[in-house]
């Protein structure tokens, strides 16, 4: 291979990673937007029966297969669907018209025992599929509970959980620590309605993990 051919191959690989990062970001954002469309549907069962939910599950399942290329496709897809279910459960709790902020924060459906379902249950299922510590489930449940009610502590919970997730993806605790802050920054951009800035941060995170995991680009 000539030097020019080597450079061209590197350029093509970089372009492919960028395209994959862009598409994965678009799929993730699409899943969240579909979630938003179902906010007014009051029960989890009713949400899951819609075509909107079906598409949201499929988008998140695809995202997880790309995030976790070293996990079986079936397990990664199921993990993505568990994440989507947790998001739908979050909406049911937060949009209960009879609940105040205090009621929402103390709702046992976040992680209480004896409930028909909890948000944490879905994240525990996700962890089981990915062979990841349940501390991720604890962190994400706490992030969901605090962030939606604008409570302090959500950043720490978000950073902690995504350090665990990124470490699992990359196999490196140092990279897990370095890249965990991307999620917090993306959420802050979302909260400020800086949509494009948030998408740019997410794409940067995906480019980094795809490079570290040699995710297939074809």
At 84, is the secondary structure helix, strand, or coil? Answer: helix
CA-CA distances (angstroms) from residue 147 to 87, 98, 117? 13, 20, 20
What confidence score (pLDDT) does residue 215 get? 72
CB 64 within 8 A of CB 80: yes
What confidence score (pLDDT) does residue 85 get? 98
The distance of Cα 76 from the centroid of its chain, to the nearest Å, equals 12
What confidence score (pLDDT) does residue 218 get? 58
* Surface-to-core class of residue 29, CB atoms within 10 Å of its CB (0-12 exposed, 13-18 middle, 19+ buried): middle
pTM of the predicted protein model: 0.92
Condensed to tens digits (0 to 9), the pLDDT of residues 144-159 reads 999 999 999 999 999 9
What confidence score (pLDDT) does residue 11 get? 61
What's the rounded mean pLDDT across residues 12-29?
A: 93
Condensed to tens digits (0 to 9), the pLDDT of residues 74-99 reads 999 999 999 999 999 999 999 998 89
């Amino acid at each position: 291979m000539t030097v020019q051919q080597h450079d061209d191959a590197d350029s093509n690989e970089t372009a492919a990673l960028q395209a994959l990062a862009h598409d994965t970001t678009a799929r993730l954002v699409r899943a969240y937007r579909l979630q938003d469309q179902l906010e007014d549907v009051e029960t989890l069962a009713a949400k899951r029966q819609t075509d909107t939910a079906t598409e949201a599950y499929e988008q998140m399942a695809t995202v997880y297969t790309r995030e976790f290329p070293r996990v079986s496709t079936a397990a990664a897809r199921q993990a993505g669907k568990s994440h989507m279910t947790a998001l739908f459960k979050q909406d049911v709790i937060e949009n209960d018209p009879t609940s105040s902020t205090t009621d929402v924060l103390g709702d046992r459906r976040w992680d209480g025992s004896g409930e028909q379902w909890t948000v944490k249950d879905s994240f525990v299922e996700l962890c089981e599929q990915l062979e990841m510590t349940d501390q991720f489930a604890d962190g994400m449940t706490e992030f969901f509970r605090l962030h939606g009610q604008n409570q302090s502590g959500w950043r720490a919970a978000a950073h902690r959980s995504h350090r665990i997730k990124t470490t699992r993806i990359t196999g490196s605790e140092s990279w897990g620590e370095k890249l965990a802050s991307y999620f917090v920054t993306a959420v802050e951009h979302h909260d400020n309605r800086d949509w494009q800035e948030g998408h740019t941060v997410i794409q940067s995170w995906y480019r980094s993990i795809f490079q570290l995991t040699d995710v297939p680009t074809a």
